[in-house]
Amino acid sequence: MLQSLGVCVLALAAAPLFAQSGDAAKGKALVASSGCTGCHRIGDQGSRTGPDLSEIGDKRTAEKLKTSLVDPDEEVLPENRYVSVILKDGSTVRGRILNHDAMSVQLIDTKQDLRSFQTSAIKGYTILTKGLMPKPQLSDGQVADIVAYLSSLKGTEAP
């Protein structure tokens, strides 16, 4: 019991250590130069189609952030799920799911428009869990830098 508690404590301690080992400034530059904001929003910059990273440092541990970078498909949180909606008119709409009940589906589509579809107009509905984010080719140092930057994102203060 004590042994397993020790492992747990070590794991918790490792997360901030991991974040501290990277260079947040380098990580910020990497994020800015690598197209991450093509899907992610940070503050008032970037797309709203992917998860908003403005407060990600308060929501995810450094270890979880690392996993999201090196193995993006490993875990997609429910609020970040993408869906593909096939309508009865033959068209397909993809987007991040916002709300869903028996009568209708609401999402933000790839053009960042809020869309709503009534179930009666839908032919098919698929939750996309794989391939939403590319697996980047990064060195361990670069991963640590980006994790350090993301860990520092704690939300927007009043100007």
Partner 1 sequence: MKLGVLRPLVLFSLAGLLPAQVTYDQILHANREPQNWLTYSGGYAGQRYSGLTALTRANVGNLELKWVYHPKYSDKMEATPLVVDGVLYTVQNSEVIAMDAVTGRAFWTFHYAVPPESNAYVMVVKGLAIAGHTLYWPTYDGHLIAIDAKTGKAIWNKTIFDWRKGYQFNVAPLVVKDMLILGPATNERGMNCWVAAYDLKTGQERWRFYTAPVAPEDPAFKTWTGDSWKHGGSPIWVTGSYDPETNLTF
Closest listed residue to residue 96, CA positions, set 50, 53, 131, 44: 50
Give 80: exposed, middle or buried? Use CB within 10 Å, 0-12, 13-18, 19+: middle
With CB under 8 A as the contact rule, the residue among 22, 27, 42, 49 that binds partner 1 is: 49
Q: Shortest approach of partner 1 to residue 39 CB, angstroms?
A: 5
Q: Shortest approach of partner 1 to residue 18 CB, angstroms?
A: 19
Distance (Å, whole) CA 157 – CA 51: 19
Closest listed residue to residue 117, CA positions, set 86, 79, 78: 86
Q: Decide whether 21 or 47 has the Cβ nearer to partner 1.
A: 47
Please identify, among the stretches 2-10, 13-21, 59-67, 113-121, the one whose residues bind partner 1 according to the rule CB under 8 A. Answer: 113-121
With CB under 8 A as the contact rule, the residue among 6, 16, 35, 124 that binds partner 1 is: 35
19 scored as a contact of partner 1 (CB under 8 A): no
Please identify, among the stretches 11-19, 57-65, 85-93, 133-141, the one whose residues bind partner 1 according to the rule CB under 8 A. Answer: 133-141
Size of the site for partner 1 (CB under 8 A): 46
- Contact (CB, 8 A) for 132 and 51: no
Q: Decide whether 21 or 104 has the Cβ nearer to partner 1.
A: 104
With CB under 8 A as the contact rule, the residue among 45, 92, 112, 126 that binds partner 1 is: 112
What is the helix (H) or strand (E) element at residue 77, kind and residue range?
A: none
Helix (H, G, I), strand (E, B) or coil at 27: helix
**Helical residues (DSSP H) of 54-93, grouped into ranges:** 56-59, 62-70
Helix (H, G, I), strand (E, B) or coil at 80: helix
With CB under 8 A as the contact rule, the residue among 21, 23, 47, 80 that binds partner 1 is: 47
With CB under 8 A as the contact rule, the residue among 67, 70, 83, 136 that binds partner 1 is: 136
